[in-house]
Structure 1
Amino acid sequence: MRENKSVVLLSVGHACVDVYQGAVAALVPFFVAERAYSYAAVSGVVLAASVLSSVAQPVFGVLTDRWAMPWLLPVSTLLGGVGIALSGVSGSYAWTLVFVAVSGLGVAAYHPESARVARLACRGGHKGMGWFSLGGNLGFALAPLMVTAVVAGGGLRLSPLLVVPALVGSVLCLPVLKALERDGTARFGPAVTAEADDRVSFVMLSMAVICRSVVFVGLSTFISLYARQRVEGGAAAGTAALFVLYLGGAVGSVVGGSLAERWDRVVVSRWSYLATAVAVAGIVTVPGPVLYLFVALASAGLYVPFSLQVTLGQDYLPSRVGTAGGITLGLTVSAGGLAGPFIGKLADATSLRTALAPLVMMPVLSWLLFRTLPEPVAPRRHVTPPAEPSGGGAAAEAAGVTEGGAGRRRARRVRRGTR
């Protein structure tokens, strides 16, 4: 199968999974309206999707470092969809938390293995990974439209219809997996590299990802309700704000991959976070329809580093790429979910505007942390194929010799903290 076709199928499949991450926040206004949940209660729903994911995603990353598990892609896609589809069926708050947590588990299982498969399919290029990330962000962007179209007219009882993207995504990934299996690529074991792990840089990167997560999950949870207040609109105003938030992320992912082909990933990410801080300040302070502009800018700024952070983490831990991918992708959502209830309680006690104001500092902290990071040299990975003869040696050389678009240009190491 051609590389471009594989990347497209994986990107669409990614959208069919991440639509369920976005669906959790998109369901918040309907939980408030139909079940009279408080801000703290709906924050708990977001937390339920995040806690299990935060624990499970790194575990799946460790497992994919030891064994290739391409079958996880269709199975986890279905699990993510079924959880959200059932979340509106029961009026019980406890069962709602359980179903949302099941969806979070499916999403957690999907990302480490899909990141591994996507990097093989796109030969490690930053642009290819950018397009793969774009798929996920488009899924986020479409979530409020999908949820509103299904639930607004008939209520939460129609939530089982939300399983449709999962059915589509589970089918779309099969041709890619079959093609990689035919080449022997999908069964490759752990990559062997002579590069040493830079654990200090990985920890600093993870802290920056946590700060980013708090901002994005905080905005995605409450921006719909906040926009209704700031622009004095109804449900459409809130849905539009959430759509802009997710769509801006889709644009940011593509831009980030392209910028990383010209400049170091660390430099691109650092300046993106600084711009994000300004945009989040605009969300908090500027009233009226211009709010949507700042939402778009903040989202794009948060997503320019998204795929870059995944490949940076893998290059900082070249011997544990699955673990690195699982942690960086897992923290992207889970850490913010843990902070969500505190934002909700503050909003209940004061106002949404007051509760969102501290988010301005989070991208500033990410910017400061990125100032300490070096640009890693893209490691040369020699992937060990399975023992049985399959003609996979050529595929191993094609897909696993180098990782990252930086491997196709002059790899350079930037001294820590010089930029």
Structure 2
Amino acid sequence: MRYWVSAHIVSDFYQGLVPASIPFFVLERDYSYAAASGLALAATLGSSLPQPILGILVDRRPLLWLAPAGLLAAGAGAGLAGLAPGYALVWTLLLLSGVGVAAFHPAAGRDARRAAGGSAGAMSLFAAGGSIGFFLAPALVAPAFVAWGVGATALFIPPAVLMAFVLWRHQQRRTVATETAAGVPGPDRWPPFLLLTAVAVIRSVAGIGIITFLALYWIVELGATPFLGGVALTAFLVGGVLGTLAGGRIADRIGMLPTIRIGCAAAIPALVLLRLVPDPGLGLVVAVLAGAAVNLPFAVLVKLGQDYLPARPGTAAGVTLGLAVSAGGLFVPLLGALADRHGPQAVLTVVCVVPLGALLAALFLPRP
């Protein structure tokens, strides 16, 4: 499991790098909010569109090389984006990075489930790896961008190369299994899985909206420095790591469905408080709480999705870890247009009510 947790950290670091870099593209290259949101859309399209096909493939074949190759593509695309001279090339490289992320998640989710067995807590470690990667991105990227500009993205290519090599060696030592399922009996249940996907997408809209615009809100509305704006985003993502880990432990005690519903319900007041807090310093504490609430159901959604599709763990992981999360990013350009018209505070206001839709859908999820 440790290989998959580490690889997930590296993979989702590059997903986190994109929203962490958006304020600096706005400030350094004078991109509009809508144009900057288009960069997030590029990474989203790359990481979402290939997911269903890749999930089907990894459920049929081992494809042990796919996850390492995805890490390489994710790191190269995101790392070179800051060096690209024009918007079109930046957009294309971030699209490539997203495709790399899409290649990683289905194979990694399939094999991590096999390593985790039936424990939601163990699966939460793998899911938390992605949250840690998101957390590390602004923590490392913001200081580098402040010092050297967006061209500093190139500094973050080596981790992808190193982790891809380590993971490839690990995969070569594995015995190629002929079974792709994780050994859980029972038929696939598509209607509940599609409803769960809707919960994951709605939750993703709230999370990605905050990740994309929280730093800008701190800078533009609360008068914080760009560095403190990056710290606010980091605080939200630290809360996300804590919430992901807590969600798996809670689900092992009280069940997956109550955990999902509690997380969706708790996100609403937490996001309202984040929107209303007047002081950027005090807001850092609130950002941690909001991140924990929004991410409490994350690992549980992954585990429950694979329980709904026991014969297709790669497809389930590709959708819940990749497609559903990335699909939330499809709404970022709409949020960017809203920010251009009314400011980042309008985005945070809209995001406060989004988890209500996830809660309503979660109430209809059946027991696995």
TM-score, with structure 1 as normaliser? 0.84
Structure 2 portions without partners, runs of 5+:
none
Once the two structures are superposed, what CA deviation does each residue of 1:356-415 show, in whole Å capped at 9, x if it has no partner?
211112111111111111221xxxxxxxxxxxxxxxxxxxxxxxxxxxxxxxxxxxxxxx
Say whether the 8 Å CA contact 2:54–2:318 is kept in structure 1. yes
Give the 5 Å matches for 1:246-285: 246-285=237-276
1 CA distance for matches of 2:180 and 2:331? 36
8 A contact 1:257–1:307 mirrored in 2: yes
Give the 4+ runs in structure 1 shifted more than 4 A: 190-194
Please name the residue that 1:197 is paired with: 188
The number of residue pairs the alignment matches comes to 367
1:220-258 CA-partner distances (Å, limit 9, x unpaired): 111111112343211121110111111111111111111
Give the residue type in structure 2 aligned to 1:319: A
Specify the code of the residue in structure 2 equivalent to 1:166: A
Residue in 2 aligned with 1:237?
228
Corresponding residue for 2:353? 361
1:48 has 2:42 as partner? yes
Residue 161 (structure 1) aligned with residue 138 (structure 2): no
Partner Cα distance (1:291, 1:340) in 2: 23
Give the superposition deviation at 1:189. 3.7
Distance of aligned partners of 1:172 and 1:134 in 2 relative to their CA distance in 1, 3 Å threshold: farther
8 Å contact kept, 2:264–2:359: yes
**How far apart, in 2, do the equivalents of 1:239 and 1:192 lie?**
43
Q: Is the 8 A contact 2:146 2:227 kept in 1?
A: no
Check the 8 A contact 2:188/2:310 in 1, yes or no: yes
Give the Cα–Cα distance (whole angstroms) in 1 for the partners of residues 184 and 130 of structure 2.
29
Identity %: 37
Quick check: 1:59–1:326 contact (8 Å CA) kept in 2?
A: no
Task: Find the counterpart in structure 1 of residue 95 from structure 2.
Answer: 101
Distance 1:251 1:94, change over 3 A: same
Distance 1:176 1:127, change over 3 A: farther
Shift of 1:268: 0.5
1:340 is matched with 332
Q: Give, in whole Å, the separation in 2 of the partners of 1:14 and 1:166.
A: 11
Inter-partner Cα distance in structure 1 for 2:152 and 2:180: 43
Corresponding residue for 1:91?
85
Q: For the residues of structure 1 that align with 2:18 and 2:232, how far apart are their CA atoms?
A: 15
Q: What does residue range 63-78 of structure 1 map to in structure 2 within 5 Å? A: 63-78=57-72
Quick one: distance in 1 between partners of 2:170 and 2:116? 12
Kept in 2, the 8 Å contact 1:343–1:356? The answer is no
Do residues 228 (structure 1) and 222 (structure 2) align? no
Match of 1:295 in 2: 287
Choose 1 or 2 for highest CA Rg.
1
Partner of 2:26: 32
Residue 2 of structure 2: SS of its match in structure 1?
helix
Write the distance in 2 (CA, Å) between the matches of 1:200 and 1:238.
41
Give the letter for the 2:335 counterpart. I
Q: Higher helix share goes to which structure?
A: 2
1:13 correspondence with 2:4: no
Residue 327 in 1 paired to residue 319 in 2?
yes
Classify 1:122/1:190 alpha carbon distance in 2 versus 1 (closer, same or farther; 3 Å): closer
Q: Residue 12 of structure 1: SS of its match in structure 2? A: helix
For residues 189-222 of structure 1, give each alpha carbon's deviation from its aligned partner in whole angstroms, at most 9, with x where no partner exists.
Answer: 4567652222221121111111111101111111
Indicate the residue corresponding to 1:180 in structure 2. 174
TM-score normalised by length of structure 2: 0.95
Does structure 1 conserve the Cα–Cα contact (< 8 Å) formed by 2:69 and 2:164? yes
Find the residue that maps to 1:262 and give its secondary structure.
Answer: helix
Q: Is the 8 A contact 1:213 1:331 kept in 2?
A: no
Distance across 2 between alignment mates of 1:371 and 1:18 = 29
Q: Distance in 1 between matches of 2:136 and 2:183?
A: 39
Q: What SS does the aligned partner of 2:157 have?
A: helix
Contact 2:55 2:107 in 1 (8 A): yes
Question: What is the CA–CA distance in structure 2 between the aligned matches of 1:340 and 1:260, rounded to whole Å?
Answer: 30
**Please, which runs of 5 or more residues in structure 1 have no aligned partner?**
1-6, 377-419
Please give the secondary structure, in 2, of the residue aligned with 1:95: helix
Please state if 1:214 is matched with 2:178. Answer: no
Report the Cα offset of residue 177 of structure 1: 2.1
Root-mean-square deviation (CA, aligned residues, Å) is 1.7
* Alignment partner, residue 132 of structure 2: 138
Give deviations 1:63-95, integer Å, cap 9, x for gaps.
111111121121110110000111011221110
Kept in 1: contact 2:49–2:323 (CA 8 A): no
Alpha-carbon separation, structure 2, partners of 1:319 and 1:281: 40
Counterpart-to-counterpart distance in 2, 1:264 and 1:124: 13
